[in-house]
Structure 1
Amino acid sequence: MTSSSRIRPPFVSDERTQLVGWFGMQRAIVHYKCEGLSDADAHRSVLPGSPLMTMAGIVSHLRWTEQTWFEVLFLGRPADGPQFAEWRGDGPEDLDMMVEGVPLARLLEEYERQCAVSDEIIAAHSLDEAGRHPDFTSAAASLRWMLIHMVEETARHAGHMDTIRELLDGAKGYY
């Protein structure tokens, strides 16, 4: 399980502590929403209009989204990964959410490892530093902007997970 807790950051602290604290809390909620879930339920679609919006699909998407923003856009590394398949022209949109047959435990481990890489990048750079990838206009954003966006992105999908989990087995709870 991730080392982040489901505790809000301090009311009074520096900007980085608050941003990283909120980010860590949302990541921890992702893990919490998956606790005790079977692989069958993790891959079960409960939203007819969004068949890829499964617990497993969201965990995978969040893993690849972290890689996109912090490794690719911020550091300028190659645009590798299933999330770039459509951009490269060699796969469908949302390939990062197509994880049928991949155990939830593996997806959570991969997400946790990616979060650790992201945390190292965030810790090593100024919040004012801009991204470097030459092929994406979003890379012009500052690390601060990317971090705020990722808090929003992770929280948004944690909210999806709230609903999906309740539809799967009735489990509820924010933190």
Structure 2
Amino acid sequence: MDADAAKANLHSYLKHERQAVLDKLDDLSEYDVRRPLTATGTNLLGLVKHLATWEARYLGEVFDRPFPEPLPRWDVEADRLGDMWATADESRSDVVDRYRRVWAHSDATVAALDLDAVGRVEWWGDAQVPLFNVLVHLLAETSRHAGHADILREELDGAVGTDAEAMAAEGHDAAFWADRRAQVEAAARAAVA
């Protein structure tokens, strides 16, 4: 595979995962996209804000193409973890629109650079890293958080998969999942009996 094809493939997967994360916000109330759903406060809108912040860093600062809006600092204790939740003053559209602006900025960086273009990742001990490695890292990180979003959304209203309507059309309704859960629970109990 040539470098242009590899870059296009990685970029395509990244674009898919970005959209998958945003799709998890569809049809949810303002409260549900913001509320903490784990012991550490993980929430859907916070995942979007976090991804926007770090993608702006990796495909901005790293390649000396800074995102033109302020970002919470990773190296200032008071700002740490501030990217993991939205304040009451940050609307859903503020956070989502910012993520889309980051996409445009990041996409321009990817288009402008070759896969072997090297950037400096300050928070990796000033490592010199090629675009290829950064794209792989971002794809892994975005996919990881898309998986978190899948689980959070399932806990909120039972919506599963990247296309809940298609899953329902295939017979994967609430009764199907209740039966599946009971089957998994029975297997778990039998394994420890």
TM range (shorter): 0.7 to 0.9
Structure with greater strand percent: 2
Partner of 2:187: none
TM-score, length-scaled by structure 1: 0.81
Query: Which AA in structure 1 matches 2:44?
Result: M
Partner of 1:156: 144
Alpha carbons 1:73, 1:138 under 8 Å: kept: no
Residue of structure 2 equivalent to 1:120: 108
Establish whether residue 109 from structure 1 lines up as the match of residue 97 from structure 2.
yes
- Verify the 8 A CA contact 2:34 2:85 in the aligned structure 1: no
Structure showing the higher helix proportion among its residues = 2
**Do 1:64 and 1:83's aligned partners in 2 also have CA atoms closer than 8 Å?**
no
Q: Aligned partners of 2:86, 2:141: CA distance in 1, in Å?
A: 20
Distance 1:47 1:76 in 2: 35
Cα 1:161/1:73, change in 2 over 3 Å: same
CA RMSD in angstroms, aligned pairs only: 2.1
What TM-score results when the alignment is normalised by the length of structure 2? 0.74
Consecutive unaligned residues in structure 1, runs of 5 or more: 1-12
In the TM superposition, residue 143 of structure 1 has moved relative to its aligned partner by 0.6
Contact 2:57 2:66 in 1 (8 A): no
Larger Rg: 1 or 2? 2
Q: Which runs of 5 or more residues in structure 2 are unaligned?
A: 164-193
Q: Which amino acid in the other structure matches residue 71 of structure 1?
A: G
Q: For residue 145 of structure 1, report the CA deviation from its aligned partner.
A: 0.4
Q: Matched residues, percent identical?
A: 30
How many residues are treated as equivalent by the alignment? Answer: 157
Confirm or deny that 1:146 pairs with 2:116.
Answer: no
CA contact (8 A) 2:34 2:44 kept: yes
Residue 62 (structure 1) aligned to one of 48, 51, 59 = 51
2:12 pairs with 1:21:
yes
Runs (4+) of structure 1 exceeding 4 A deviation are: 133-136
Measure how far apart 1:70 and its partner are.
Answer: 1.1
Letter in 1 for 2:71: G
